[in-house]
């Protein structure tokens, strides 16, 4: 089934931890393809992802996944069968082998028939390139391999919706590249929501990017639209410019500044990261950037 319209629909969703409002009156819909979710620490990304993954039920507002309401037990089970979730830190039994770990998740997904389940476990381990490591204990795997085992677990049952919370954190560039390839393939015909601090991952993978801050969505659009937020606000100088919101010396020995450029400044090409940084640094005159 192709899910091009509204795999996830969120209306006025709020999630609180005592007095902390982690998700604040958020409205959003997700369709197929890879959507990136950026935001500073504490913005509410993990809380939103956990709500979408039905790990935390919404208290205020409405959430529909595949048109179903996760607050009801029957529909919640139906959602979970078609959902893959890679949490920020997947709790796993370190004495489990990679195979046992993924098999355990398959059991939780109610795949009861053993032979069929084991075939599925082998399929997903192969998909993430862990077939040869399947009998190694989780504690003996490298961080990158463990992340891949987590992704394999999320892929059990070929879910229509994949929710990935910082899947590339701690990976070396080569591993990140492999993860990117995998996620790009997974985004074809599926809805993938990818939370990350890596703006390069978003630029490489996503056709849509959401930027979250203080429980709200501050930007929702194409990655190049986020880069355009910094249009005319990046400049190059030979010395550090004290008026810049941020500025750093590049490998070429020049300073790259972002903020409000002085008149006559030599403007530079903005990147998605520049747009993201400006969105959060409340540069005067930057209000137009908020969608």
Ligand X SMILES: Nc1ncnc2c1ncn2[C@@H]1O[C@H](COP(=O)(O)OP(=O)(O)OP(=O)(O)O)[C@@H](O)[C@H]1O
DSSP string, 98-139: HHHHHHHHHHHTT---HHHHHHHHHHHHHHTT-GGGTTSBGG
- C-beta of 15 vs 153, nearer to ligand X: 15
Backbone torsion region of residue 264, taken as left when φ is above 0, otherwise alpha when ψ lies between -120 and 50, otherwise beta: left
Instruction: Provide, rounded to whole angstroms, the least separation between the CB of residue 150 and ligand X.
Output: 16
Cα separation, 231 vs 250, whole angstroms: 19
Cα 231 to Cα 176, 204, 224: the distances in Å are 28, 20, 10
Instruction: Provide, rounded to whole angstroms, the least separation between the CB of residue 255 and ligand X.
Output: 28
Instruction: Provide, rounded to whole angstroms, the least separation between the CB of residue 24 and ligand X.
Output: 10
- C-beta of 46 vs 289, nearer to ligand X: 46
Count of Cβ atoms closer than 10 Å to residue 88 Cβ? 15
- C-beta of 43 vs 111, nearer to ligand X: 43
- C-beta of 32 vs 195, nearer to ligand X: 195
Instruction: Provide, rounded to whole angstroms, the least separation between the CB of residue 164 and ligand X.
Output: 13
Residues near ligand X (CB under 6 A) are 17, 20, 22, 39, 41-47
- C-beta of 52 vs 186, nearer to ligand X: 52
Q: Would you give the end-to-end CA distance of the chain in angstroms? A: 32
Backbone torsion region of residue 208, taken as left when φ is above 0, otherwise alpha when ψ lies between -120 and 50, otherwise beta: beta
Cα separation, 36 vs 211, whole angstroms: 8
Instruction: Provide, rounded to whole angstroms, the least separation between the CB of residue 28 and ligand X.
Output: 15
- C-beta of 133 vs 201, nearer to ligand X: 201
Instruction: Provide, rounded to whole angstroms, the least separation between the CB of residue 208 and ligand X.
Output: 18
Count helices and strands in the chain by DSSP H and E runs: 9, 13
Cα 280 to Cα 62, 199, 246, 273: the distances in Å are 28, 14, 12, 11
């Amino acid at each position: 089934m192709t899910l091009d319209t509204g795999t996830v629909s969120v209306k006025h969703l709020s999630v609180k931890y005592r007095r902390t409002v982690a998700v604040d009156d958020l409205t959003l819909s997700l369709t197929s393809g890879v959507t990136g979710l950026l935001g500073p620490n504490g913005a509410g990304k993990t809380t939103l992802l956990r709500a979408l993954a039905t790990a935390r039920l919404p208290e205020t507002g409405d959430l529909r996944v595949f048109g179903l309401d996760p607050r009801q037990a029957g529909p919640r089970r139906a959602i979970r069968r078609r959902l893959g979730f890679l949490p920020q830190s997947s709790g796993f039994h370190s004495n489990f082998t990679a195979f046992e770990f993924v098999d355990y998740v398959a059991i939780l997904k109610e795949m009861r028939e053993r032979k069929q389940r084991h075939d599925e476990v082998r399929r997903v381990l192969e998909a993430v390139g862990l077939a040869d490591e399947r009998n190694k204990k989780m504690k003996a795997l490298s961080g990158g391999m463990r992340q891949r085992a987590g992704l394999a677990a999320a892929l059990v049952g070929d879910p229509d919706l994949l929710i990935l919370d910082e899947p590339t954190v701690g990976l070396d560039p080569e591993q990140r590249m492999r993860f990117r390839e995998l996620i790009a393939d997974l985004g074809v015909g599926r809805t993938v929501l990818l939370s990350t601090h890596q703006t390069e991952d978003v630029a490489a993978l996503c056709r849509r990017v959401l930027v979250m801050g203080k429980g709200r969505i501050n930007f929702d659009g194409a990655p190049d639209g986020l880069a355009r937020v910094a249009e005319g606000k990046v400049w190059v100088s030979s010395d550090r410019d004290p008026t810049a919101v941020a500025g750093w010396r590049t490998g070429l020995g020049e300073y790259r500044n972002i903020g409000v450029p002085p008149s006559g400044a030599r403007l530079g090409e903005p990147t998605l990261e520049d747009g993201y940084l400006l969105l959060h640094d409340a540069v005067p005159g930057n209000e137009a950037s908020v969608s």
